Structure 1
Amino acid sequence: MNIVTIGGVTVGLCILAHYVTTWWPGMKALRKDPAKHAAALLPFLAAWAYGVLTILGVGGLIGWIADTTLWISNWLGDVALVWGVGGQAGQNVARATYLPLTQTGGALVLILTVGLIAAVKKSQHGSDIKRGAWCGITLGTSAGVAGFAAVPLAQAANWLGATVYGAFA
């Protein structure tokens, strides 16, 4: 598993800031129909949760893609920090511990991957889904704002996987 750097977290937060800024309908529109505008966040948030799950130690091709995405994000963010604002790169900001996925939790991530690929190809929200997954991968192991979600998401995936596969046993 790759470790996220400040540059990687910065990339994730930039994706989040861009998405929220482009989503923001304005206070008047939000007060008029909050449910409609909140529902527009669901594809991004669901994909964000998926991205967090994939970086939690999923192996194989899915884990390799998540690790590679994190590595590239770390590199891009570190370059942007050094050359863009004169900062320093490579500082470790990863969580000290995380809850790994069980075998059935990993199987659930595989099922979610198939659904995510289909949603990206068929949904009008394909761009939101891709950005949400990327954001989740970059923030999933961070110790800051988003790191708190890793354990509950892993527990939910493990429980749901055990429940689904327990029904077939």
Structure 2
Amino acid sequence: MIWATLGGVTIGLAVLIKHLIDWYPGAKALKKDPAKHAAALAPFLIAWCYGALGVLTVGGLIGWAFDAALWATNWLGDVALVWGVDGPMGTVSRAPTYLPLSVTGNCLVLLLTVAIFAAMKKERWRTGLKRGMWSGLGLGTSAGIAGFAAVPLAQAVNMAGAALYGAVA
């Protein structure tokens, strides 16, 4: 498993900020119909959770794809920090509290993969889904608040997978 670097977390946060700025309808519109505008964030949030879970998938093609994507994100962010602002590089993952997915949790991630890629066929959701996955994989193993969200996500997916498949986690 590849751990997040300071650059990878910076890219994850940058993608999150970009999406929120693009999404923000303005205070007046948000007050008028908050449910509609909150629903517009759903594809991003679902894909963010999927990205955080995908980076916790240890093996297989999905795990390899997320590791490769995290490596590329780390590299891009580290280059941006070093060359852009002469900043530091370094690992910012929370290795001691890493929670791997169970067998049934991994099964659920496979089902989520099918759902996410099927949903990407809808043009209106595609951008939010891609940005959410990218932000989630960059932030999913970080040591900050976003990284801590991966622990309850992993536990929820492990429990849901056990319930779905009728197995003990």
**TM-score bracket relative to the smaller structure:** over 0.9
Q: Which runs of 5+ in 2 are unaligned?
A: none
Q: What residue is the counterpart of 1:69 in the other structure? A: 69
Q: Distance in 2 between matches of 1:118 and 1:57?
A: 20
Asked if the contact 2:51/2:137 (under 8 Å) is kept, the reply is yes
Q: Distance in 2 between matches of 1:148 and 1:3?
A: 14
TM-score using structure 2 length: 0.95
- The Cα offsets for residues 23-60 of structure 1, whole Å up to 9 and x where unpaired, read as 01111111111111011010000000000111113311
Q: Distance in 2 between matches of 1:21 and 1:166?
A: 42
Q: Distance in 2 between matches of 1:41 and 1:105?
A: 25
Q: What is the number of equivalent residue pairs in this alignment?
A: 166
1:94 aligned to 2:96?
no
Q: Which runs of 5+ in 1 are unaligned?
A: none
Letter in 2 for 1:24: Y
Asked if the contact 2:57/2:106 (under 8 Å) is kept, the reply is no
Could you tell me how far 1:123 is from its partner in structure 2? Answer: 4.7
Could you tell me how far 1:19 is from its partner in structure 2? Answer: 0.3
Written as runs of structure 1 = structure 2, the 5 A alignment for 1:16-55 is: 16-55=16-55
1:105 aligned to 2:105?
yes
Letter in 2 for 1:137: L
Could you tell me how far 1:100 is from its partner in structure 2? Answer: 1.0
RMSD, matched Cα: 1.1
Could you tell me how far 1:127 is from its partner in structure 2? Answer: 1.2
Q: What residue is the counterpart of 1:128 in the other structure? A: 128
1:119 aligned to 2:154?
no
Letter in 1 for 2:63: G
- The Cα offsets for residues 104-136 of structure 1, whole Å up to 9 and x where unpaired, read as 000000011011110112352111101101110
Could you tell me how far 1:142 is from its partner in structure 2? Answer: 0.2
Q: Distance in 2 between matches of 1:7 and 1:104?
A: 32
